[in-house]
Amino acid sequence: GGGMGGMMGGMGGMEGMMGGGGGGMMGGGMGGMGGMGGGPPPPIEGVREDLPYIQCGTCKALVRRAFYVAKTARAELKKRAPTEEEYMAKLEGICDTDLPSGEWIHSYDLVENGRAVSLKKMTQAGECTVECKTVSLACASTMAEAETDLAEAFYSNAKTSKELEALICGAEGKPGSIGGLAGECSKAAPQTPEASSPADGTWREAFAPKMKPPPPMPTPPTKKKKKKGKKGKKAKQEL
Q: How confident is the model at residue 216, as a pLDDT?
A: 56
Output the pLDDT for position 9.
Answer: 46
Handedness of CA 210, 212, 215, 221 (dihedral sign): negative
d(CA 203, CA 152): 35
pLDDT computed for residue 195 by the predictor: 59
Query: Phi and psi (nearest 5°) for 209?
Result: -55, 140
pLDDT of the residue at 37: 62
**Looking at residue 1, what is its pLDDT?**
55
Question: What are the residues whose beta carbons fall under 8 Å from the beta carbon of 167, sequence distance 6 or more?
Answer: 149, 153, 159, 176, 177
Backbone angles phi, psi at 46, to 5 degrees: -75, 170
pLDDT digits (tens, 9 = 90+) for 18-62: 444 434 333 444 444 444 567 888 889 999 999 999 999 999 999
Say how far apart CA 197 and CA 15 lie, in whole Å. Answer: 39
Residue 8, strand partner residues:
none
pLDDT at residue 213, as a whole number? 61
Report how far residue 90's alpha carbon sits from residue 83's, in angstroms, rounded to the nearest whole number. 11
**pLDDT at res. 210:** 73
Q: What is the pLDDT of residue 204?
A: 74
- CB-count exposure of residue 103 (10 Å: 0-12, 13-18, 19+): middle
Torsion of CA 40, 42, 46, 47, to 10 degrees: -160
Residues of the chain with pLDDT under 70: 1-37, 195-201, 203, 211-239
Locate all alpha helices (DSSP H) within the chain, ordered by sequence: 2-28, 51-77, 84-91, 130-156, 161-169, 219-225, 227-238
Q: What's the pLDDT at 238? A: 52
Alpha-carbon gap, residue 222 to 197, rounded angstroms: 39
pLDDT at 21: 40
How far apart are the C-alpha atoms of 187 and 172, rounded to whole Å? 6
Q: What is the pLDDT of residues 225-237, one digit of tens each?
A: 444 544 544 445 5
Q: Domain ranges in the chain?
A: 48-169
